[in-house]
Amino acid sequence: MLSPAKINLGLEIPYKRPDGFHEIRSVFLRLNWGDDIRIEPITPGAFELVSDNQIILEKRRLYDEVSEKGDLSKNILFKTFSKIRAHYRELPGVRIHLTKKIPPAAGLGGGSTNAASLFSFYFGLSPEFNSDHIFKLAAEIGADVPFFLSENHCLVSGKGEILKDIQVHPGQGILALTPQVLSTAEMYAGLKKPLQADPPSKRWISLGNDVEFSLKEGNWAALREKLVNDFEPLAFQKFPELGKLKESFLANGASYSSLTGSGSCIYGLVQGLEIREELLAKMQTEFPDLTFVSFNY
């Protein structure tokens, strides 16, 4: 089955919370592109991972370091298995076949989506594994994991666990799989956000309503004036080529373009398959060394 990637439409970080996490406000879109994962039950207590690493060459090593070829204890699938087993020891072990396409350090939720796939597998095996508990355990694994359990596009707030399902007009896009590595921890630290616990501002509530309307109508161009990714200035300062990539997406026909998450991937959204093919051809000509992926949502 597909373990889908996500992109962020806007990512505001208004403040750092007293619990040490950062408050976020974003729109998460599920893509029809991602990793392929197959999970089968085996002997209770056993965990096996078989990986086919298809990540772009520059980042392939990052996954190998936490796969069965490296330190498996650092792999998010193993961490998820261990947490689930701590609560439900009667559940079977797993053998996971993973075709890994989503690069790490990309802002695409590659680890979180795999974890959610494993939660979903176990959710179907035990009537005791109720939805409230699964979301609680998922949030303990990673802030983005609950989103991948929702199966919808969402307005996301809190530390990532507050989800509001939204309607999004079907659309298309191009994703640039960039080789640059941006540490999530370093990017958050670079924002230097104050410690506070303010409620959502009236501006965000109003903005959220405007954004929902634009998404429902498929008015991607209108989002340029409504959404920002707070990580872009930091990412573009460190790697100016990422800023140039965004500019090229827009210049070559994308209705909307942005860094996703804390980076480093950049995407462009369009209205129509023909426009997407034209955009892809132009981007491949301008950036022949980059890998581009077409997606729908």
Phi, psi at 61, each rounded to 5°: -60, -35
Phi, psi at 238, each rounded to 5°: -75, -40
108 is in an annotated binding site: yes
112 is in an annotated binding site: yes
109 is in an annotated binding site: yes
189 is in an annotated binding site: no
14 is in an annotated binding site: no
CB 129 within 8 A of CB 122: yes
Instruction: In whole angstroms, give the CA distance from residue 177 to residue 157.
Output: 26
Q: Is 175 exposed, middle or buried (0-12, 13-18, 19+ CB in 10 A)?
A: buried
CB 18 within 8 A of CB 25: no
Q: Which of 142, 145, 110 is nearest to 31 (CA)?
A: 110
143 is in an annotated binding site: no
Catalytic residue among 6, 79, 101, 246: 6
104 is in an annotated binding site: yes
Q: Verify whether residue 52 is a known catalytic residue.
A: no
Phi, psi at 258, each rounded to 5°: -165, 160
Catalytic residue among 79, 101, 144, 246: 144
105 is in an annotated binding site: yes
Instruction: In whole angstroms, give the CA distance from residue 7 to residue 26.
Output: 10
Q: Verify whether residue 144 is a known catalytic residue.
A: yes
Q: Summarize the annotated binding site as residue ranges.
A: 103-113
Q: Summarize the annotated binding site for ATP as residue ranges.
A: 103-113
- Active site (catalytic) residues: 6, 144
